[in-house]
Amino acid sequence: MKNLRIVITTALVIALSSLGLSAASAADSTATRCAATPGAAAPASRAAAQPVTVWLAGDSTMANPGSARCPVGWGSQFDALFNTDVTVRNQAVGGRSIQTWMYEGNVSGTKGSDGECRLTSDTYSSRWQSMLNASTGMKAGDYLFIQFGINDSSSTCPRHVGPARYRQLMTTMVQAALARGAHPVLLTPVAALTCSGSTATKNRGFVNETFAVGSATRAPVVDLQSLSVSLYNNLRFCPHNGDFGSGPVGAFFCNDRTHFETYGAQRIAGLVAGDVRRQNLALATYLR
């Protein structure tokens, strides 16, 4: 009888031990599965944001300032709105139409039979060539902001650009960016301050042409003319007595109702950044 009790006790011990091992194994397996669940990794292990370069092409309303206090282009204030993963390369130049910006020195002072300023050479300007450079220019993930349409409205060469030519040249720039994996963003020209009584009004051309290129290429368009006019009205810049050297208008504009003081450039840059966020462009994730 004693031997029987020993046999039964031994069997029970072995069975209980086996159950314990199974439970431990199951617990280990569950822990392993939880550790492998997507999203369980700590935020620190996520890939860091890729550095991005934002290239700017445009005229004096976008350009970096010279030695004088005024004008200050809004592009010079754009970098401060982003985190340190973004570098802004401002290649805007005062007095340029889209054609003289692209073909600096190779646009003649005479028009051809098509009404466009003749090119003496199809060699691109050094600034556009630098953007197209395979090693140091636009790369995949970068952005190219394009804003012209002010000097282009000149009736004389070399600045003059007709609507069809404007669309052609802007499309060329967009396609060049896309070919390099960069993201083009088009902007209608920022407005000068003109008043109709107590209302600021639009005064720039090439708006339809800019939207047409955006539609054809699926490039986003920032309607900076409309945004700037709305800002002028919100700030109640109109009616205006023509004195651009004092008061709120003088703090915003140079003494020409077209170019900006530093404060004005900051506000215009803020409009562009705000529309980047509103349109939910991927670049918005880098905004401060």
CB 79 within 8 A of CB 86: yes
Of the candidates 143, 246, 240, 144, which has an alpha carbon nearest to the alpha carbon of residue 192? 240
Find tokens 């007095």 and name the residue. Answer: 95
Q: Taking the model in full, what pTM does it have? A: 0.83
Q: pLDDT 10s per residue in the chain (288 long)?
A: 444 344 334 443 334 344 343 433 444 444 333 333 333 333 332 345 799 999 999 999 999 999 998 999 999 999 999 999 999 999 999 999 999 999 999 999 999 999 999 999 999 999 999 999 999 999 999 999 999 999 999 999 999 999 999 999 999 999 999 999 999 999 999 999 999 999 999 999 999 999 999 999 999 999 999 999 999 999 999 998 888 888 999 999 999 999 999 999 999 999 999 999 999 999 999 999
Domains of the chain: 52-193+201-227+273-286 (3.40.50.1110)
What gap in Å lies between CA 89 and CA 103, rounded to an integer? 19
Q: What does each C-alpha distance from 191 to 12, 226, 253, 257 come to in angstroms? A: 90, 8, 11, 9
